A and B are shown apart, each in its own frame.
Chain A
Amino acid sequence: MPEPLLRFARVGKSFGGVRALDDVSFDVLAGEVHVLAGENGAGKSTLIKILAGVHPGFDGEMTLQGKPLRPASPDDARRSGISVIHQELSLVDSMSVSDNIHLGRESRRLGGWWLDRPAQVARSAELCRQLNLELSEADMARPVEAFSLSVKNRIEIAKALAFEARVIVMDEPTSALDRPEVDKLFTLVAALRARGCAVIYITHKMEEIARVADRITVLRDGKWVGTAPAGECPERRLIQWMVGRDLSEQFPPPGEGRAGGTAAPALETRGLGVRDPDPSRRNAVGGVSLRVAPGEILGIAGLQGSGAAELFQGLFGSRGACCTGEVTLGGVPFHPKNPRDSIGRGLAHLTADRKATGLVLGMSVGANVSLASLPGVSPMGLLRRGIERSRARHWAGALGIRLASIEQPVGTLSGGNQQKVVLAKWLCTGPRVLLLEDPTRGVDVGAKREIYSLMRAWTGQGMAILLISSELPELLGLSDRILVLHRGSVSAEFTRAEATQEKVLAAAMGSQ
């Protein structure tokens, strides 16, 4: 057994009497990818925040290369050689690539006052080359906002290397990436491993664990459950460790197969196009025809840039009236104008990014639940708190939202419960067609399963669901039919029985 690079010894942390992390001990070796797994609230984030210097006061101790490690601040942690790449990237969008890579560690001259830009650019270009990032020296001067999320992700890793990080923590780095981009990221992770860095990798996705992990540590309820080499830890056992019970089946069975029935379709489009707000660019969606029956879940598969997200935005009117072609809702012609109008017609759209576009984090759970259906709780414009509270309680119960109080700010809930609040908000509007974009993003295994069952329950009551998911197994497991988009138009359609990961992916990548 080689000497561990990083060692956690009896690390613990309490917040106001609540023990968030208790007595956690394990080692991380140099040159390994160490997956940290566990449900939301298991203590992963707390542990990482201690490592990153966000919580300087903690119990127990950490050692890095045998020396005690007690980072007093994020800056301190970074200087010790620990880099954390968060889900929300910490790049400054308006600054250039090389300035971002060197942010906090600028190359300086003249007693440290003069910024040595050329040296920074050269060094950044070299780092990008090592990471197989196809960026030229000219790109180093462009602002980060000009690049896609996946490139930004890798720029963030280059930043970690610029700090000569020995330990790199990646917190769900693939949550917003497409499959080819995920592949690129994994190549990069392999490169980091080869350089002798330790990578602590946090993910909720089983297939990623299988692909990338050397060893796995599982936390549950703030406690260490076990550490094992990846080979000795099959998916079944891992889930058992994480949830403390056996999850025999992930996905609930489909309904009685109302799909394709004779009833009028809940939503139908013919030759639907969605214009890009920038008129010089081609339409994001062009000529999509689809129909979804009441009680049916229609999966929409597609990589980034396939137009799937834009299709939802167009149908919901998120970007105003920018649709061409015909749309009917329950047989009635419909011209998407704005979200307000669409909600009134029985449409609901759960967006992918709940923090940016789903929730008002500072408002209470109750206020968020009623946000999309306020006219219903405020007859004559007067807000009736009683109605609001009873509705919120009803949905909190129906969706199993775990909370202390309806008045609690929604930002204090865990990710899974936040997602359920967004779902509750849309269910409150009594939708007939539900547009779901990554409904289980950042949600732990147990909550995922609950959301899946709920979806089935709603379709059982006649609701139609359009589903986008960045996780193929989820899409395959839930959808009655799958429509694959490629560059804004339909490239294939599969029934539940026909669809396999390989076929869907091939169609999404444009091969016939």
Chain B
Amino acid sequence: MKAAFQIPWVRALLALALVFAIGCLCNAHGAFFHWSTHRDMLRQVSVYGILACGMTLVVVSGGIDLAVGSVLGLSAVIFSTATLHHGLPAFLAVALTLGAGAAAGLASGTLVSRLRVQPFIATLALMVFARGLAKALSGGQKISRVIQQPDGSFSYVDLPTVFARLDARVLGGNVAAVSLVFLACVLVSWVVLSRLRYGRYLYATGGNEDAARLSGVPVVRAKLLAYGLCGVFAAVAGICQAAQEEQGDPEAGTGYELTAIAIVVIGGTSLAGGRGGVGLTLIGAITIGYLEKILSINAVPEASRLMLTGAIIVAAVLLQRRKP
């Protein structure tokens, strides 16, 4: 029993079980026991979860990326502009958006690895810059199906099928498509962290950068990979967000970076770097998802929600803290 408690994912599951138990008790007249509640929970947490996948890579490498929320907003704007305003085919728009996300991530990565700016500062700068760029590209307005003409009147374009596809439900209506995107992101991050040589480089860099460098680990390239992939995941999240809102909101994703970090930490990945994994992040995402869902179906007022969320996050983290 004690030995099992030492395994990180056992502790992460314990925190999840705690939240789930609260849900069973406060089930809002049985609403918690319907599959649709769990399906919706998974949909709601998917965008955060996708961000958290990228965040996990960065955190494992010993850094942090505060720019993910802004890059999400920027990506949502780029994707919506490309599809709705310029009528680009979906695959081109997706490629363009992922490219922009990768560029944003590589920009932070370059600042952090080559120019040795502290991750917190570098990504804070990019967070502000990317938000500004999103507003500049969109003119401060949401990019939607409604397009203003030069004479001031409005015209409408049809919603491209890619929006509907991403916002659809699959597997007999039991799972939201974005949840599958999330699971795919988890899978990709897992392959990177656990099955690729570069994953090992990330753990070594985060665990002891000096030892890693002196052992021939290409720490600069490893960090570039982590931040670059984090940017790509933020772009994926941006596309999902745009598809679900049927528009590109330049303000989208404001504050999401904090939720993503909370998910990573609740899963049990150490902010000190070198430890953890994306499986833990998946558990963390579901924990946060249930927490929000339970508060929402019970229509808990906003003020109490904030206090309860804070208290439960602390409880979950304490519950799974490593015993000395």
Contact = CB atoms under 8 A, between A and B. Distances in A.
Chains A and B are bound partners: yes
Interface of A: 16, 316, 318, 339-340, 342-344, 349, 351, 356-363, 367, 370-372, 374-375, 378, 381-383, 425, 429
Interface in B81-106: none
B197 A361 contact: no
B208 interface: yes
Given A362-B275, A383-B194, A383-B195, A374 B200 contact: yes
B202 to A, nearest CB: 11
B214 interface: yes
Contacts of B199: 383
B212 interface: yes
Given A360-B212, A360-B274, 8 more contacts: A316-B214, A339-B214, A340-B216, A340-B218, A344-B216, A362-B274, A367-B203, A374-B201
Contacts of B274: 360, 362-363
For the complex of A and B, list the 10 residue pairs with the smallest distance between their C-beta atoms, beginning with the closest: A360-B207, A378-B197, A340-B216, A372-B215, A343-B216, A360-B208, A371-B215, A362-B274, A357-B210, A362-B207
Contact of B208 (A343, A361, A370): A361
Contacts of B217: 340, 371, 374
Nearest to A344: B216
A356 B275 contact: no
A256 B212 CA distance: 37
B165 interface: no
B224 to A, nearest CB: 15
Nearest to A381: B197
The B contact surface, by secondary structure, is: helix
Contacts of A375: 197
7 contacts: A318-B213, A339-B215, A360-B211, A367-B200, A371-B211, A372-B215, A429-B216
Contacts, number: 78
Interface residues of B, number: 24
A341 to B, nearest CB: 8
Contacts of A381: 196-198
B178 to A, nearest CB: 29
Contacts of B201: 374
Contacts of B212: 360, 371
B216 A358 contact: no
A367 B210 CA distance: 16
A448 B197 CA distance: 33
B2 interface: yes
Nearest to A313: B214
B207 A361 contact: yes
A358 B211 contact: yes
A349 B215 CA distance: 9
B215 A425 contact: yes
Nearest to B194: A383
B76 interface: no
A356 B209 CA distance: 9
Contact of A382 (B196, B204, B211): B196
A383 B215 CA distance: 17
A316 B215 CA distance: 10
Given A16-B2, A360-B207, A363-B207, A383 B200 contact: yes
Contact of B196 (A339, A356, A362, A378): A378
Nearest to B210: A357
A272 B292 CA distance: 64
Contacts of B207: 360-363
A316 B213 CA distance: 11
Nearest to B207: A360
B20 to A, nearest CB: 29
B5 to A, nearest CB: 12
Interface string B174-212: 000000000000000000001111111101100110111
